[in-house]
Amino acid sequence: MSNRPSPIRLVFAPVRALFVSDASAGILLILVAIAAMLAANSALAEDYHHLFHGELFSADVFKLNTLHLWINDGLMAIFFFVVGLEVKREWIEGQLSDNDQRKMPVLAAAAGMVFPALVYLFFVNAEGAGELTRGWAIPAATDIAFAMGVLGLLGSRVPASLRLFLLTVAIVDDIGAVLVIALFYTANLKVMWLLAAAVVVGIMMAMNRARISAYTPFIVMALVLWFLVLNSGVHATIAGVVAALTIPMRGKDDDTMLEHLEHGLAPWSAYLIVPVFGFANAGVEIGNLGMEGIIAPLPIAIAAGLFFGKQVGILSAIYVADRLGFAPRPDGASWTEIWGVSILCGIGFTMSLFISGLAFAGNALLIEEAKIGILMGSFVSAVVGYTILRMTTDHPEDEKSPYLDKADL
């Protein structure tokens, strides 16, 4: 018998590690969110807020003068860099490289962004709150680590096709979120800084074409690009995505340069950068808001967008595409299972918190209310999605599936 790996094994190879241990990063985020809430509502509240928002030095010295800004504009640029690497790999060699394979994830992700935004706008416009419309993109994002973490708690009960579907939808969702940030959440653009950034991108593209396989030149140029974008009016984290897209798939010796870089940075992103971001941003003082603040239009609109908008958008897109023959639903999955996964896409922790800070920059009250809505919507989506899948899924045959075998890692 041939020992040559089967095509299905090769298809799943890039994401097997996520499937084996995908619960850990999500569980860590849950613990971080709880810790942030406890810190913000205890005797440590003043120290918690001072740690992240206390001035490190004058803003005249450098734009990022608090730890919170360094995390959101600095560390998160690395997170977006990893996202960019993942997107490029998937688009060129992974699940999004084939037009037929990308149809369903792209359609589902698009619907999963549009419907939550519409639900959000319906709720805030019903209250006549014009300022709140800036937050329309907050419920449009899906947190990959959190959603995959909840799915990972179910083990092999969930069909592997649904795991892959959730992962690819979340990746496409990230692409959409990056575009939204770049197009809709920018300050006054400064042309000279942007032109300088464009020159740096051009140099990095030339380095790509020359197949420079050393990491140092790309890292140095990426840092320069980040500094230029930081001062351009476009959010600095966009530099991370743009820099990632210039990294060669392979170096001169035909080594998998991009994949090595992604695998090296992904654990740091998942287990350090994102948890630090979550701890710095998820803490909200419930006492300061009161019940009136918790049930205010903004948190209700965000929670409704995440829980109702996501599942309606994604489930309806899959159903229509499958019925019209545009793209098939995930293989071997029932409609109830697809519904459960669609609900899990309503977990919008990391990217939603990030966008809320951009949408309501300078308005501390709205940012706090947005956090409540994100936490409520994400929590309900996680619990309900998990419960539905726990009650309706049972795929023990996946335990013997070759692409889930830890020995293959």
Please check whether residue 117 is in contact with residue 309, taking contact to mean a CB–CB distance below 8 angstroms.
Answer: yes
Spatial CB neighbours of 64, under 8 Å, sequence gap ≥ 6: 70, 73, 74, 230
In this predicted structure, what is the pLDDT of residue 330? 86
- Which residues lie across from 66 on neighbouring strands? 55
Residue 320 is predicted with a pLDDT of 95
For residue 234, pLDDT beyond 90: no
Least confident of 4-13, 289-298, 325-334: 4-13
In the predicted model, what is the mean pLDDT of residues 88-96?
Answer: 82
Q: Phi/psi of residue 223, each to 5°? A: -65, -40
* CA end-to-end distance (rounded Å), the chain: 22
The confidence score (pLDDT) of residue 210 equals: 87
Of residues 170 and 107, which shows the higher confidence score? 107
Dist CA 343 CA 384 (whole Å): 7
| DSSP one-letter code for 273 | I
**Mean pLDDT of all residues belonging to the chain:** 83
User: Could you tell me what percent of the chain has a pLDDT over 90?
Assistant: 37
Residues forming beta bridges with residue 290, ordered by sequence position: none
pLDDT in tens, 125-182: 866 667 888 899 999 988 877 888 888 788 777 787 888 888 888 888 888 888 888 8
| d(C-alpha 281, C-alpha 68), whole Å | 8
18 contacts: CB under 8 Å, gap ≥ 6: 148, 167
What is the structure's pLDDT at 196?
A: 96
d(C-alpha 8, C-alpha 5), whole Å: 8
Nearest to 306 by CA among 137, 127, 154, 177: 137
What is the secondary structure of 297-344 as a DSSP string? HHHHHHHHIIIIIHHHHHHHHHHHHHHHTSSPPPTT--HHHHHHHHHH
- At 384 the pLDDT is 95
- pLDDT above 90 (res 56): no
Res. 3: pLDDT tops 80: no
Closest CA to 94 of 15, 211, 161: 15
What gap in Å lies between CA 40 and CA 36, rounded to an integer?
6
- DSSP for residue 296: S
At residue 22 the predicted structure's pLDDT band, cuts being 50, 70 and 90, is low
Which of the two residues, 292 and 321, has the higher pLDDT score? 321
Pick the more confident residue, 395 or 377.
377
Which of residues 9 and 104 earns the better pLDDT score? 104
Q: What is the pLDDT of residue 226?
A: 95
User: What integer is the mean pLDDT of 185-197?
Assistant: 87
Model pTM score: 0.79
Taking a C-beta distance cutoff of 8 angstroms, is the pair 343, 388 a contact? yes
Could you tell me the pLDDT band of residue 310, with boundaries at 50, 70 and 90?
very high
- Mean pLDDT calculated for residue range 367-377: 92
Structure tokens at 17: 């590690």
Average pLDDT over residues 212-224: 92
Q: Read off the pLDDT of residues 267-285 as tens digits, 9 standing for 90 and up.
A: 898 899 989 998 998 888 8
Is the pLDDT confidence value at 117 over 50?
yes
CA distance 144 to 101: 19
